[in-house]
């Protein structure tokens, strides 16, 4: 896999983001918000102003925004930082916006991250245990909290991997939907949580 290192930007100490990078499949780089972004990016950049610089991880084949450090992503991902306890499973490494922050909580014993893309694992350092594989098929243990992002590609019944009193939470850019257990939407053999 061809790797092109892009000069480092200022380090964001609060979020511990990696240096910018580019591989054959992904690009992590600076983006200046214009207000005229691709329709698929708009909900993620909604709270940023034109002229703001955000760091974006983009799948190059279709310009899909995998993750960013936009205001919306920082606010909505704070939920898992606040709610995490015990053994935590996180689906998607992204840019490590939250994983190491979850690991730093005194209420958390361990954090396991499942990441499908080897180039992201190679370029995004984390203190967490990372499993390289597809979240739908990788072998998993049992967890107190399971945080799922991205949800649209996941159809596994994660409730089967919860400890007693455990909780499945799905990330969403909408604060109203963020953190809800939406397993039933992605796996039709599962009923909604009462």
What is the tens place of the pLDDT at every residue in 83-99? 999 999 999 999 999 99
pTM for the model stands at 0.86
Confidence of residue 15 (pLDDT cuts 50, 70, 90): low
Encode 44-88 in three state secondary structure: HHCCCCCCCEEEEEEECCCCEEEEECCHHHHHHHHHHHHHCCEEE
pLDDT, residue 131, reads: 96
Domains in the chain, CATH or no CATH each: 4-69 (no CATH), 77-186 (3.40.50.150)
* Rounded percentage of the chain residues whose pLDDT exceeds 90: 67
**What helix, strand, coil percent values describe the chain, rounded to 5?**
20, 30, 50
């Amino acid at each position: 896999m061809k790797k092109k290192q892009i000069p480092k930007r200022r380090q964001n100490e609060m979020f511990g983001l990696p240096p910018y990078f580019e591989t054959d499949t992904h690009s992590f780089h600076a983006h200046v918000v214009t207000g005229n972004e691709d329709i698929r990016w708009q909900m993620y950049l909604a709270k940023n102003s034109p002229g703001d610089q955000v760091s974006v991880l983009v799948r190059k084949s279709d310009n899909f925004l995998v993750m960013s450090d936009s205001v919306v992503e920082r606010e909505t991902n704070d939920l898992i930082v606040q709610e995490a306890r015990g053994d935590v499973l996180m689906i998607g490494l992204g840019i490590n916006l939250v994983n190491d922050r979850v690991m730093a909580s005194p209420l958390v014993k361990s954090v396991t991250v499942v990441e499908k893309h080897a180039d992201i694992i190679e370029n995004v350092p984390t203190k967490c245990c990372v499993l390289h594989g597809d979240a739908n098929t990788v072998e998993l243990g049992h967890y107190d909290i399971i945080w799922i992002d991205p949800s649209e590609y996941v159809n596994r019944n994660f409730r089967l991997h919860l400890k007693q009193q455990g909780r499945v939470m799905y990330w969403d850019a909408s604060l109203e939907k963020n953190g809800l257990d939406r397993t039933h939407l992605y796996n039709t053999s599962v009923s909604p949580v009462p």
